[in-house]
Each structure stands twice: as C-alpha cells, then as structure tokens.
Amino acid sequence: MIRQFNINDLDKCTKLIEQCNKGNLKVRYFPLLKNEVEKRLISRLNSNDHKMLVAIDNSKIVGFMELFIEVEEKYVQILSFFARTKFNHVFDMCVEFMRINLSEFSLDYVISDFNEDSIKYMKSIGAKTDGKEIMINIRKEEFIETIEDTATELNEKHHSDFIELHNKFFPEVYWKGDLLVKEINKFKIFVILEKNILLGYAVLSCFGRDEEEIYFIYSKNRKSKIQLINKSLGAAFKWTESVLILLTSEEKDDLQYYLDIGFHKKEVIYVYHMTL
C-alpha cells in the first residue's frame, strides 16, 4: 500500500533512509546525518511543491519516495527513492500511485551512474534517456574573470526572441522559454546581441544556494560561449561558492575546455523521462 507521508512517519522514515542511503543506493544530494534527514523531511512536509510517499507492507514502512510536483505544468520529478527490500515491487507501487493520481504528467528522474537498481528499473518500465551526462563544477576561488565580455542581461525587449530561440533548441525540457521568463526572479539570463539580434544566451539559477547551476547555454561560436560562461560565473560568485554545468553526451568534446578553465568532473548521471 502507498500513502502520503505524515509527521508520525518521521522516525521510521529517517531510520529507513539511514539504512538505505549508502553504496550503490546512495541518493545524490540527500543528507546523511540523522538531524539533516529529519530537517529535510519536515521542510518537504511544509512545502506546496513537494510530496512524500511511504510504502507499507505488513504494517511496516518499507519504502519512501520524494517528489517535486508542478501541477499547472503537469510535471513531476522523483527526487529520492529508498526501499529496504523488494526494490522493484516497492517502486512499482509508487509508480502505480503516480499513474492514478498524476495521470498524463511528465516524469523525470535524475539518477547517478552507480545507482544500478534504479537504472535497471527505469529501463524496465520503458523510460527513455539521452544517455550519460557529466556534471562539472567550479569553485569561487578557482575562477579567473576575463576582461573582454560583451554579454548583457536579458531585458524585456528581447523576451519574445529569447523564448523562440530557447524553445527551438531545447524543445523537450521542463524549463521552456515562456516559463523561464515568467519565473525570471529565479534566474539570471545573459545574452549575446549583434545589431540588436539575439545570437546566444546562458541561464543561471538564482536560488540563493551554496551551489548554483548554469542550466542552459546556447551560442553559435566558442568565443560567444566563453563570454556567456564568464558573465554567468562572475555574477554567480557574488553570492555563491560553486557553480555546476551539466554536459550532455553531445557536448563531451567540450569537457577538456571546461577542465582547462578550472572546472572539475563531479558526477555522471542519467536523466530518465516518461509520461505517466
């Protein structure tokens, strides 16, 4: 049986997570210390955008799933999943619960390359992936800002051009151009303009975290791309300590360039997609 998490589940779910969150079952970015796990569960319980599911078997909690949900966009992301035993069976129950309650929603699940059980499971239910993606990061003290920089922050005059360009080159993503503009307070968007024509852009998260992320970069040439990265990093390091970039399999040839300017390989992930 699957039901939603409540505060009375806190101790049992914390113990379950502590037992499971290790080895090839370790969940990316999930805290390891008991008090930090409890803090996260309580914060999720009080969030309108998150739901937590618990799996019950013989009156015992045997599984836990954490979700981020955007009802208006019909989008859901699995943030974490833990099961003490019967991994596939517990996952099946959670997916069935989502199919009933979140029918026709788009589902994403970001999985570390060593989470073999989760990868096998997502393949078994027909979820698709674009393959391995490499997460790289750079710390504030490693960044050397260059002087030459023609990138500027996106203004309202170019919103429609940005939306059109972004949706053309990233048609399948959750953060489509119109949504990025609508939620502009959560991002900084830098652009390259030539004769008032938008030729490239970079989208930097602005969540006030210790580690932010450049979500999207598009440019027709390497010079403009370098300027966009430089502008994004210079802005981000006014408040954060580290910045992430996710390189897809198609961008693997760019890896050495990023390593040369101070980035480090952080992790390898798969992003699985499906419609519930």
Cβ neighbour number for residue 202 with a 10 Å cutoff: 29
Instruction: Collect the ranges in the chain with pLDDT lower than 50.
Output: none
Task: Assign 51 to helix, strand or coil.
Answer: strand
Residue 225 lies in a domain: yes
Residues 188 and 241 in one domain: yes
Residues 48 and 144 in one domain: no
Residue 262 CA neighbour count, 13 Å, CB half: 15
Instruction: Tell me the C-alpha distance between 68 and 82, whole Å.
Output: 16
Residue 168 lies in a domain: yes
Q: Among residues 83, 105, 126, which one ends one of the domains?
A: 126
Residues 217 and 250 in one domain: yes
Residues 95 and 165 in one domain: no
From the list 215, 221, 167, 219, the residue with the least C-alpha distance to 191 is: 219
* CATH number of the domain that residue 159 is part of: 3.40.630.30
Residue partners of 170: CB distance under 8 A and separation at least 6: 176, 216, 218
> Residue holding tokens 């409890």?
38
Residues 44 and 141 in one domain: no
Q: Among residues 107, 126, 145, which one ends one of the domains?
A: 126
The letter for the amino acid at 35 is N
Instruction: Tell me the C-alpha distance between 165 and 255, whole Å.
Output: 24
Residues 17 and 80 in one domain: yes
Count of domains forming the chain: 2
pLDDT of residue 145: 75
- Strands 75-83 and 242-247, by their bridges, are unpaired
Residue 275 lies in a domain: no
Q: Euclidean distance between the first and final Cα of the chain, in Å?
A: 19
Q: Counting runs of H as helices and runs of E as strands, what totals does the chain give?
A: 8, 13
pLDDT of residue 254: 81
Residue 233 lies in a domain: yes
Angle between helical axes of 116-124 and 87-101 (0-180°, round to 10): 50
Residue 273 lies in a domain: no
Q: Among residues 106, 126, 146, which one ends one of the domains?
A: 126
pLDDT of residue 200: 94
Residues 144 and 75 in one domain: no
Residue 131 lies in a domain: no
Residues 146 and 121 in one domain: no
Residue 249 lies in a domain: yes
Residues 64 and 160 in one domain: no
Residues 165 and 249 in one domain: yes
Instruction: Tell me the C-alpha distance between 57 and 63, whole Å.
Output: 9
pLDDT of residue 147: 61
Tokens standing for 53? 């599911």
Residue 274 lies in a domain: no
pLDDT of residue 193: 92
From the list 129, 63, 122, the residue with the least C-alpha distance to 90 is: 63
Residues 48 and 170 in one domain: no
Which domain, by its residues, includes 171? 136-268
Residues 98 and 189 in one domain: no
pLDDT of residue 148: 67
